[in-house]
Amino acid sequence: MSTFNDTRHIIHGDTGGSNDDTTAYNDVVAAGSQLTFTSINGDQKSVSVTGGGTAVTAYNSVSVSGNDIVFGKTDGSTADTQPLGGLTAITDLQTVTTGHTTDIDDLEAREQFKNVTQHPDVTDAQIGTLSHQNLPLIVNGRTYNFSHSSHNHTLQTSVLGAFRTSNGWQSEDNHVHRAYNTLVSGSYYDYSGLNSVGGTMGEWIKIQLPEAVVLSSFTMSADSTQSLPRRIH
């Protein structure tokens, strides 16, 4: 013969439940020293809680009012507030940003330049490793090719010089087929050579980048001690 031991959680008294001596509760609310239990059929029973030492404050809501965070209490008493300025994270952020005076509008204006890259995206020193202007420059597996129609007989005045801050490109000026010596007027001379690009006569330089790029602008400067072109194509 077998037996079965049934263990039940019983709240004694009139629970308003069924005739059974056990009632199931699915909600409990603390209000001050009162605990209110709600049964699964909607009936309630309240009991008083005493003792237990230091009181514990229970919060049931949080909101922002002005510069304060407001914590609502379950017993309905005056809410607790915490000024935002007193929070460690806010204080630390203020310390970081106080010394910066750049306007937000300025930062937004700079967004468009975050993905702008200057080409060729190699250094002077890397270009300077080439021993001849017609050699390819390979950096991190990416290949750059340089070429020109003429230069003034030194590596520094070749097309490589055009892309280095310490040098500059100079076309050959003492060859009949490459010189600018057709007098126009005064000190202006037209091109007398035979080189051209796309049907435009003149000396030229060229760089082939590892990948195709969208060119938005370019910068060119001239040596004021040398002869300067009137037009650039």
**Residues 121-163: pLDDT tens digits?**
999 999 999 999 999 999 999 999 999 988 888 999 999 999 9
Rounded to 5°, the CA angle 78-79-84 comes to 140
pLDDT tens-digit series, residues 46-65: 888 776 666 667 788 888 88
Question: pLDDT value at position 77?
Answer: 85
Structure tokens at 44: 């309630």
Q: Tell me which range, 1-5, 7-11, 112-116, 146-150, is most confidently predicted by mean pLDDT.
A: 146-150
Share of the chain above pLDDT 70, in %: 71
Residue 16 has pLDDT above 60, yes or no: no
Place of tokens 């060859």: 175
Chain centre to alpha carbon of residue 181: 53
pLDDT tens-digit series, residues 211-221: 998 888 888 88
β-bridge partners, 72: 61
Residue 228 has pLDDT above 70, yes or no: no
Looking at residues 179-200, what average pLDDT do you find? 80
Compute the mean pLDDT over every residue in the chain, rounded to the nearest whole number: 78
Residue 37: pLDDT band with limits 50, 70, 90: confident
Burial group, residue 35, by CB count within 10 angstroms (0-12, 13-18, 19+) = middle
> Is the model more confident about 2 or about 109?
109
Encoded amino acid at 149, one letter:
S
170-189 in b/e form (b: 16+ CB < 10 A) is: bbbeeeeebbbeeeeeeeee
> Is the model more confident about 93 or about 29?
29
Question: pLDDT value at position 85?
Answer: 67
